[in-house]
A and B are shown apart, each in its own frame.
Chain A
Amino acid sequence: DAGITQSPRHKVTETGTPVTLRCHQTENHRYMYWYRQDPGHGLRLIHYSYGVKDTDKGEVSDGYSVSRSKTEDFLLTLESATSSQTSVYFCAISESGGGPRYFGPGTRLTVL
């Protein structure tokens, strides 16, 4: 299995609180992605990174920010969580820009 971990794996929080999800990889891959998975919507890209400090928005980026200060870590922050952000969040990595190669195990986030 590829070396990609996510933390926490489960989180319950309240509306209005900030939340940070962490993705850590040991593959030294250049590209990292954050997706959310919701029933009926498949996976939707939130943000992605093409290098340290280089990030760009995906199709559902509103309410989310990201940071990548090291090759191995990609953080996703919900500045003020809302119930609509209840979802399963997946991090993914790839060596080249040809699409995600490996996915992490996911983080199940519940916003009450």
Chain B
Amino acid sequence: AQSVTQLDSQVPVFEEAPVELRCNYSSSVSVYLFWYVQYPNQGLQLLLKYLSGSTLVKGINGFEAEFNKSQTSFHLRKPSVHISDTAEYFCAVSHVYNQGGKLIFGQGTELSVKP
């Protein structure tokens, strides 16, 4: 079985500062990894995903994430955040043999960008 741990429930940061949202996973088989963003009162949007290939994945809105197999991590980063990045961010995992792409989600990290 897989599991996902988002290490920070809340991350406050000032505008234009860099940010890293941490995600660790547990799985006995190879995995696919995902980051989603949820703005207030909206559904989730896919930010980026790692399926295979390069371990550095670039997504929308200037975000990127790096897959580190040895540390079983998939941390999300942005070099300079904006007020509009304030949202909740979810890391998710599925194993590569999983029909239908059933995902296990982490509990979310609230990113709060302050002026």
Chain B interface (Cβ < 8 Å from any Cβ of A): 32, 34, 36, 42-46, 49, 51, 90, 92, 94, 98-108
Contact = CB atoms under 8 A, between A and B. Distances in A.
A100 B34 CA distance: 10
Interface string A72-112: 00000000000000000010101011111111111000000
B34 to A, nearest CB: 6
Given A103-B45, A106-B43, A48 B100 contact: yes
A100 B103 contact: yes
A85 to B, nearest CB: 19
Contacts of A103: 36, 43-45
Given A98-B49, A98-B51, A45 B102 contact: yes
A40 B106 CA distance: 10
Contacts of B44: 43, 90, 92, 100, 103
B103 A40 contact: no
B92 A99 contact: yes
Contacts of A56: 99-100
Interface string A50-81: 10000010110000000000000000000000
Contacts of B106: 42
Contact of B99 (A41, A92, A97, A102): A97
A101 B99 contact: no
A97 B100 contact: yes
Contact of B101 (A40, A41, A100): A100
A44 interface: yes
